[in-house]
Amino acid sequence: MPNVAIVGATGAVGQEILNIFAERNFPIDELRLLATKRSAGRIIEWQGREIEVQETTHDSFKGIDIALFAGGSSSTEYAPSAVKSGAVVIDNSSAYRLDPDVPLIVPEVNPEDAKWHKGIISNPNCSTIIMAVALKPIQDLLGIKRVVVSTYQAVSGAGVAGIEELESQVRAWAKGEELEKETFPYQIAFNLIPRIDVFEEGDYTKEEWKMVRETKKIFHDEKMAITATTVRVPVFRSHSESINIETIRNVDIEEVKATLAKAPGVIVEDNPATDTYPMPLFTSDKDEIFIGRIRKDLSIENGLNMWVVGDQIRKGAATNTVQIAELLLDK
C-alpha cells in the first residue's frame, strides 16, 4: 500500500480528500498530513488513526509515494522537492496545468494520460472539470466543433472567505445594516458578478482562459473552439454551467440523452413534464455531474443546449484528485 501525503490537509479541499479516501477505501499505509505553520500540531482523526498535522518543508516527502497538493500556491514551492524524493505529485493548482510535460487529467475523459507523467500530474480547474465530464460523451457521439459556455459559480469557489462574505451580507441585509465587502469586488448578496479572477488578454478573465485552454488540452483537440463567460452567483456550493455545443455530426436529441444517461460520472435529471432539472441546492456533496435541459439548438444545423451542475469541491477538486491517484494504483 502506498504512503500518501496531503499538502493543505486542513483546507476545504484537503478535508474533502480525507472524506473521499475513507468513502472509497483508498489503500494507504502511512498518511502524512501537511499544512502551513499555522495549522501544524492540530490532530486530525481519520479512520481510527490520530494524525498530527506537520508543517510542510522540503524534507516532508521522504518515503512518500503519492503527494496530493491541495494547498494553492504551495505547489510551486514544494512539488519539485516531492518529485525529487520520489513521490508522484497530483497538483490542484493551476501552476503546472499547461506545462507540456505535465498530464492534465479528468479520469472520465483522458485516463491514459496518467501513463506518461514525469512526476507531476495536474488536476484541472473546477469549472473545466465539470464541463469536460459533460462534453466527453458528446465528443465521442457527435464530435464537437464549438462550445459556448456561461458559468454560475458558487461563492465557495473563492474559499471560506467567499462563503462568509455571502452569509454576512445576507444577515446584514435582513437587519437593515450596511453590507461590507472584502473578497468580491461588489456586493454578492442578491447580485451577480461577471468577473472571476483577473482580467487578461482580449478582456477575458483568467478563469475564462482556464476553461478554454485546459479543455483543449484534456481533449487533445486544439481545433475545438471554446468561448466562456464566468460569473459569480450568490450560491454557497456547486457550480452551474449553461453549455451550447455545435457538433460535427447531426443531433438526434433522444440519442444524446440516452448517451449522457449511460456516461460515467453523469446523472441526467431532465423532465420538463415533472419540472425536473439539476440545481445547485441539490447537487452538493455528490461526486457526479448532473445534466438537464437537454435540447436541440434550433438556430443552427447541428447544435444542442444543456444545463450542467456539479459540486466544485468534490468532483471539481477533491474527487477528481483521488480518482487520478486511483489511476496510479491501477498502473
Let me know if 126 is a catalytic residue: yes
> Residues 167, 148: contact at Cβ < 8 Å?
no
Q: Which long-range contacts (CB under 8 A, 24 or more apart) does 267-270 make?
A: 267/291, 268/292, 268/294, 270/294
Is the Cβ of residue 144 or residue 158 nearer to ligand 3JN in the bound state?
Answer: 158
Question: 59 - beta bridge partners?
Answer: none
Q: Retrieve residue 137's grid coordinates.
A: 460523451
Is the Cβ of residue 139 or residue 240 nearer to ligand 3JN in the bound state?
Answer: 240
| Distance in Å, CB of 304 to ligand 3JN, minimum | 25
* 210 near ligand 3JN, judged by CB under 6 A: yes
* 126 near ligand 3JN, judged by CB under 6 A: yes
By CB atoms closer than 10 A (0-12, 13-18, 19+), residue 80 is: middle
Residue 8: strand, helix, or coil? coil
Taking contact as CB under 6 A, which single stretch among the options 35-43, 135-143, 150-158, 248-256 is the one that binds ligand 3JN?
Answer: 150-158
* 158 near ligand 3JN, judged by CB under 6 A: yes
Single residue of 10, 56, 93, 320 touching ligand 3JN by CB under 6 A: 93
> Residues 168, 188: contact at Cβ < 8 Å?
no
Let me know if 117 is a catalytic residue: no
By rule CB under 6 A, what count of residues binds ligand 3JN?
Answer: 9
| Distance in Å, CB of 312 to ligand 3JN, minimum | 6
Single residue of 157, 234, 265, 278 touching ligand 3JN by CB under 6 A: 157
Q: Retrieve residue 257's grid coordinates.
A: 440523452
Q: Which residues contact 253 (CB under 8 A, 6 or more apart)?
A: 294, 295, 296, 304
Interaction site with ligand 3JN (CB under 6 A): 93-94, 125-126, 153, 157-158, 196, 210
Catalytic residues: 126, 239
